[in-house]
Structure 1
Amino acid sequence: MPDTRRSLARMLAVALLAVASTAAADSGHPLPLWQINGHGNSVFLLGSVHLLRASDHPLPSAIDAAYQEAERLVMELDMDDIDPLTTQAVVAELSAITDGRSLSDLLGQRRYANVEKESRKLGISLDMFARSEPWYVAISIEQLMLMRAGLTQEHGVEAHFVGKAAADGKEIIGLETIRQQLGLLDGLSMPAQRNLLAQVLEESADLQSSMAALIRAWRHGDTGYLEQNMLAEMKRHRELYRTIVVDRNKDWVRQIGRYLGRKDDYLVIVGALHLIGDDGVPAMLAQRGHDVVQLQQQ
Structure 2
Amino acid sequence: MTRKKKTALLSVALSAAMLASAFPAIAAPSNPNVEVNGKKLEFASNAPIAQDGTTLVPLETTFKALNISLKDTKNGTITAVINGKQVTLQAKAKTIDGVSYVPVRVIGEAAGYEVRWDATFNRVELTSKIVKEGGKGFLWEVKNGGNTVYLVGSMHIADDSFYPLHPSFEEAFAEADYLGVEVDVSKAADPDIQKLILQMGTYQDGTTLKDHISADTYKQVGEILTKNGLKADALDTFKPWVVETTLASLKSMEAGYEGSVGIDLYFVQKAMERKIPVIELESYESQLTMFNDFSKELQETNLKNTLTNFEMVDDSVDQMADMWKKGDDAALLELTKSFSQNEEYRKAMLDDRNKVMADKIDGYLKGTEKAEYFIVVGAAHYLGDTGIVKLLQDKGYTVTRK
Select the residue among 271, 276, 279 that pairs with 2:386.
279
Q: Could you list the runs of 5+ residues in structure 1 that have no partner in the other structure?
A: none
Select the residue among 186, 190, 196 that pairs with 1:90.
196
Amino acid aligned to 1:280: G
Amino acid aligned to 1:43: V
Paired residue secondary structure (1:151): coil
Question: Does the Cα contact within 8 Å between 1:78 and 1:175 map onto a contact in 2?
Answer: no
Select the residue among 279, 286, 292 that pairs with 1:180.
286
Paired residue secondary structure (2:256): coil
- Which string of whole-angstrom CA distances, capped at 9 and with x for unpartnered residues, describes residues 111-161 of structure 1? 322332344334443412212110010111111112222222222112211
Bigger RCO (CA 8 Å, 6+ sep):
1
Paired residue secondary structure (1:17): helix
Q: Does 1:264 align with 2:371?
A: yes
- Which string of whole-angstrom CA distances, capped at 9 and with x for unpartnered residues, describes residues 52-90 of structure 1? 223431111111111112111000013455552112101
Residue matched to 2:353? 248
Residue matched to 1:105? 211
Q: Does 1:157 align with 2:263?
A: yes
Q: Distance in 1 between matches of 2:210 and 2:188?
A: 33
Q: Distance in 2 between matches of 1:219 and 1:202?
A: 28
TM-score if structure 1 supplies the norm length? 0.89
Q: Which structure would you say has the larger Rg?
A: 2
TM-score if structure 2 supplies the norm length? 0.67
Residue matched to 2:397? 290
TM superposition shift of 1:34? 0.6
Residue matched to 2:177? 71
Select the residue among 227, 238, 242 that pairs with 1:121.
227
Paired residue secondary structure (2:257): coil
Select the residue among 336, 339, 344 that pairs with 1:231.
336
State the superposition RMSD in angstroms.
Answer: 2.2
Q: Distance in 1 between matches of 2:242 and 2:185?
A: 21
Residue matched to 2:328? 222
Question: Does the Cα contact within 8 Å between 1:137 and 1:197 map onto a contact in 2?
Answer: yes
Question: Does the Cα contact within 8 Å between 2:149 and 2:374 map onto a contact in 1?
Answer: yes
Report % sequence identity: 26
Change (3 A) 1:150 1:14: closer
Residue matched to 1:16? 15
Q: Distance in 2 between matches of 1:123 and 1:239?
A: 34
Q: Distance in 2 between matches of 1:63 and 1:209?
A: 27
Larger proportion of helix: 1
Paired residue secondary structure (2:218): helix
Question: Does the Cα contact within 8 Å between 1:15 and 1:245 map onto a contact in 2?
Answer: no
Amino acid aligned to 1:39: G
Q: Could you list the runs of 5+ residues in structure 2 that have no partner in the other structure?
A: 20-129
**Alignment length (residue pairs):** 289
